Chain A
């Protein structure tokens, strides 16, 4: 397992670095790869002075002020949503679980939209207000979904997704209602709802980091327990796992990461579904390996999705949520079918 970890880990990092440079170079103003590389290198402390400055100031401006924060934000959002997806799947033992299909994304969106629309952006907690409110509403909707799906202490695979869809539909209409009430900021909200990383800048990127860090630490600490969870809840209890507590903690931190990502960039569906499954296909079900690689490849995935979103119809930008849904929804259909086949045989 440690050899596997080294191989896949370094492959993942290499891919992430490569993707970062390529995605920075792409855009309305094409910047050559070598220049991107040297400008990035130049930003590093101490070793940064090794490269000679031979580029236009505007290029450096574009990279450090516009593209780099966006790229980093995409990576953080991808890592957060993918990790959240893996957490939900592990603890609910449901391969179809994802922040989006569970209604957590919409739940977080309601809270965030409320704050944005009524202009409480910085009430109480400063720039942390939106994520915290989104977290609260996301958590509430998650428990409503679980409550709905829970029949006599058991929930079936599809039931929980169905409740997720129902709750999602209700919450989305709530958001639409709020949007129609106010006409000042409609455009901003609508675009945010569909998911976008445009014009966010460093302040947004920085806010996401502590949430992701907390989520990573907690989930990584639970990776061995999540392996045991795969055997079933009763088996896990017989192996000494505190089932209720584990489930609660993992659900809460997964929701926290979802809420942070959603409040920054809106609802971006299916990332938490696609990435953990692809990583599982590559390295198997062991969460000790699965979780770190999910974070890594999740970053790469959303980075490319966002690059497609801003480049493909340039100068027009499509919402990121549209791109991820285009990729993710067929994948969801595939998983649904495969699970049906598996439970039948």
Chain B
């Protein structure tokens, strides 16, 4: 599905990605974690073809990323960003429908019954009451849900999440991740998620890549990655790692030395 081989990227003098290689399989949820400035977002920019790597190959769907056109990429992959949509005057329904843009001809027509699709998405995300409100009247959490609706309308094979929960409270964080997980199962979609929160990554990802200073530290299941030694080496703190009492995934408990 996705194959990354020896990718390097420099911004000026500083090396942001240093020999990054990994592959992602169809249908899995692949997490990317790491401290601030470790190159997570840069890596995602190479994967979504917003930027070009200095050297190395990123292959999507069996083809190097630069051989895809912007349009064919958009028909295949969607990105949910950290900052939700700007407060513009378009209604929620109009914005969700914008997800169909890569499939439409220049007059806005396409073969698919768009209205039925949009209805089902709005229904699924509980946006029915908000659908005719404009984005500038919504809260951040509601706007992020509209953004999710837009990516769903794109019907991607691959969804990339760029820290989408950053500005949300824990209620909206879990709600968003649950909706994405349900969608993933239903559509058998692949997800690549850059996440800040290690506990969320552990709960929702099948495999995790830990990045530090642009280098891959380790790739593996949450059980393999989230142990206190590795977290100490990368983040410089020593947390307590316990197993989740219900599903057994590792969860992190932070501790303070000044008490």
Partner-B contacts on A (CB < 8 A): 221, 224, 227-228, 230-232, 234-235, 237-242, 280, 284-286, 342
- 20 CB < 8 A contacts A-B: A221-B106, A224-B101, A224-B108, A228-B98, A230-B90, A231-B86, A231-B95, A231-B98, A235-B81, A235-B85, A238-B48, A238-B79, A239-B98, A239-B101, A240-B69, A240-B73, A240-B74, A241-B101, A285-B89, A285-B90
Is A234 a contact of B81 with CB atoms below 8 Å? yes
Decide if A239 touches B89 in the complex (CB within 8 Å): no
Inter-chain contacts of B75 with A (CB < 8 A): 240
Pairs of residues from A and B, 3 with the lowest C-beta to C-beta distance, nearest first: A240-B74, A240-B102, A285-B89
- Chain B 50-84 against A: per-residue CB contact (8 Å), 1 yes, 0 no? 10000000000000000001111111011101000
**B73, B81, B94, B101 pick with most chain A CB within 10 angstroms:** B101
- Contact indicator A342/B90 (Cβ below 8 Å): no
Which of A227, A234, A238 sits near B74, CB closer than 8 Å? Answer: A238
Q: A231-B95, A286-B94 are in contact. Are A239 and B74 (CB under 8 A)?
A: yes
Check: B87 CB closer than 8 A to any chain A CB: yes
Q: A224-B106, A232-B85, A284-B89 are in contact. Are A241 and B98 (CB under 8 A)?
A: no
- Contacts A239-B74, A285-B89 given; 8 further ones with Cβ under 8 A? A227-B98, A231-B95, A232-B85, A234-B79, A238-B77, A238-B79, A241-B70, A286-B90
**CA distance in complex: A234, B79 (Å):** 10
Which residue of A has the minimal Cβ distance to B99? A239
Q: How extensive is the interface on chain B, given as a class? A: 20 to 34
Complex Cα–Cα for A235 and B101 (A) = 12
- B78→A231 contact, CB < 8 A: no
Q: Of residues B94, B98, B102, B108, which shows the largest number of chain A Cβ atoms within 10 Å of its Cβ?
A: B98
- Number of A-B residue pairs at CB separation under 8 A: 60
Q: Which residue of B lies closest to A221 (CB)?
A: B106
Most chain A beta-carbon contacts within 10 A, residue among B48, B69, B70, B90: B70
Interface residues of B (CB under 8 A from A): 48, 50, 69-75, 77-79, 81, 85-90, 94-95, 98-99, 101-102, 104, 106, 108, 134, 154
Q: Which residues of B contact A221 (CB under 8 A)?
A: 106
Nearest A residue to B102 via CB reads: A240
Once the chains bind, are B90 and A237 in contact (CB under 8 Å)?
no
B27 CB → nearest A CB, Å: 21
- Measured between alpha carbons, how far is A286 from B88 in the docked complex, in Å? 11
Q: Which residues of A sit under 8 angstroms from B89, Cβ to Cβ?
A: 280, 284-285
Nearest-CB residue, chain B, relative to A241 = B70
Q: Quick one: closest A residue to B151, CB to CB?
A: A238
CB proximity of A220 to chain B, nearest CB, Å: 11
Residues from chain A with a CB closer than 8 A to the CB of B94 are 286
CB <8 Å contact, B48 and A230: no
**Which chain A residue lies CB-closest to B80?**
A238
Min C-beta distance of A174 to chain B, whole Å? 36
Select from chain A the residue with minimum beta-carbon distance to B71: A240
Residues of chain B contacted by A231 (CB below 8 angstroms): 85-86, 88, 95, 98
A228 to B88, CA, bound (A): 11
Q: In the complex, what residue of chain A is closest to B91 when comparing beta carbons?
A: A284
Q: How far, in whole Å, are A199 and B134 apart by their CA atoms in the complex?
A: 47
CA distance A192 to B185 in the complex (A): 67
Would you call A239 and B90 a contact (CB within 8 A)? Answer: no
